[in-house]
Amino acid sequence: MFTEDLSLLRGPPGRDGRDGRDGRDCDTDELEKLVAIMFNESKKSGESSSVAGTTTGKSPLRSYDTDDLLQSFNESIGFALLRKMQVTLAKLEDIEEELDSHQSTSLKDDDDVSDSQPITTVIGGSTYVRWGRTTCGNNSQLLYEGFVTGSHYTHEGGASNYQCLPLKPEYSTYSGHGSVVYGAEYRTGSSVFPNYMENHNVPCARCFAPTRSATLMIPAKRTCPPSWTKEYEGYLMAGLHSHKRAYAFECMDAEPEAIAGRSGNEGGALFYFQLSVCSSTGHCPPYINYAELTCVVCTK
């Protein structure tokens, strides 16, 4: 409201909690100057001055005592502060409306995106069989424990792959007519595995790697490629070359377990170590003639 410098209002601190700006320590000349400023501002704005009360040219200070002038002056200051507060509140209301409008627009945009591009949960992971063990490694979850079966090694028909059957089957309608599968046995000889496994039946575990979507079995290796996770290592096994039955290659765990109570020579599906022959492969060295091939199962 005032265009003049109000520095002469600054009295001693502590009177009214606002750094002493009540003007009570101004002398008469200072008060007269302040009132003259107020009077002139009132004339410019067309308002009737509550301080002067006259327009005769007489000094406004002569019509009032000091207390009256201070009261009128404080009322004018209060009006100015009130006006500034009103302006500030109006600006804050404008900012609030703008923020509300922006938030509403953002929510609407989000709804549009949600409608046009629904969010779906993608479930990854990879499964594999750990042949010869009833548990999975620390990197995977056990889906079920089981035992290995396959077609009899003397049969010419049937399937060529081994199967990991769960311990607790769930049957539907059955009649007893069809092909048959048999329990699988180790045919390992003596010393490659830590324990003697000859003729023992073979367990298995179906495993799930929840954070990896690919499974890779690498023959003749014990380590995985960079950035792949090693699930287990072992030996490459399948059927015997002289038998009528051909079996798929599988990676048998290097420290296999056996099914308790099943150690007799009952035939069925059989596991043999697989040996590389240098005369036909032509990669010796580094391969060793008739050495049991290793293997590793990796996930990523």
pLDDT band per the 50, 70, 90 thresholds, residue 129: very high
The string of DSSP codes covering 215-262 is EEEEET-SSPPTTPEEEEEEEEEE--TTSS-----EEEESS----TT-
Are 184 and 199 a contacting pair, CB within 8 Å? no
* 229-251 average pLDDT score: 93
3-state secondary structure of 35: helix
Tell whether the model's pLDDT for residue 72 goes beyond 70.
no
Give the model's pLDDT for residue 190.
73
How many whole angstroms separate alpha carbon 128 and alpha carbon 229? 13
pLDDT band per the 50, 70, 90 thresholds, residue 281: confident
- Check whether residue 112 and residue 130 sit in a common domain: no
- Domain-embedded: residue 231: yes
pTM comes to: 0.58
3-state secondary structure of 266: coil
User: For residue 273, which phi and psi values (nearest 5 degrees)?
Assistant: -60, 150
* Domain end residue (candidates: 89, 116, 143): 116
Query: Which tokens sit at 83?
Result: 């006006």
Per residue in 175-215, pLDDT (tens digit) is: 888 889 999 999 988 778 888 888 899 999 999 999 999 99
Tell whether the model's pLDDT for residue 52 goes beyond 90.
no
Query: Which tokens sit at 11?
Result: 């009295």
- Domain-embedded: residue 223: yes
Give the model's pLDDT for residue 266.
78
- Domain-embedded: residue 121: no
Higher pLDDT, 250 or 66: 250
Report the alpha-carbon angle 66-69-70, nearest 5. Answer: 85
- Domain-embedded: residue 17: yes
C-alpha distances out from residue 11 to 61, 75, 81, Å: 20, 18, 19
* 70-74 average pLDDT score: 60
Percent of the chain with pLDDT over 90: 39
Give the model's pLDDT for residue 139.
81
| Residue carrying the six token digits 């005032």 | 2
- Check whether residue 215 and residue 161 sit in a common domain: yes
Which pairing describes strands 182-187 and 269-273: parallel, antiparallel, or unpaired? parallel
Beta-sheet strands, E only, within the chain: 126-131, 141-150, 163-166, 182-187, 203-209, 215-219, 229-238, 250-253, 269-273, 294-299
Q: List the domain range (segments joined by +) for residue 71.
A: 7-116
- Check whether residue 195 and residue 267 sit in a common domain: yes
- Check whether residue 52 and residue 148 sit in a common domain: no
| Residue carrying the six token digits 């627009």 | 105
- Domain-embedded: residue 95: yes
Are 136 and 146 a contacting pair, CB within 8 Å? no
Higher pLDDT, 231 or 103: 231
Give the model's pLDDT for residue 114.
47
Higher pLDDT, 53 or 169: 169
* 65-79 average pLDDT score: 61
pLDDT band per the 50, 70, 90 thresholds, residue 9: very low
- Check whether residue 95 and residue 139 sit in a common domain: no
Per residue in 19-47, pLDDT (tens digit) is: 544 445 555 565 556 556 655 655 555 55
Tell whether the model's pLDDT for residue 1 goes beyond 50.
no
* Domain end residue (candidates: 72, 95, 116): 116
Tell whether the model's pLDDT for residue 226 goes beyond 90.
yes
Residue 262 exposure: Cα atoms within 13 Å on the Cβ side? 18
Number of structural domains in the chain: 2
- Domain-embedded: residue 74: yes
Give the lowest-confidence range in 101-115, 172-186, 248-262: 101-115
Give the model's pLDDT for residue 39.
56
- Domain-embedded: residue 13: yes
Are 17 and 6 a contacting pair, CB within 8 Å? no
CA nearest 230: which of 157, 147, 136, 144? 136
Mean pLDDT estimate for the chain:
77
User: For residue 289, which phi and psi values (nearest 5 degrees)?
Assistant: -60, 125
End-to-end CA distance of the chain: 74
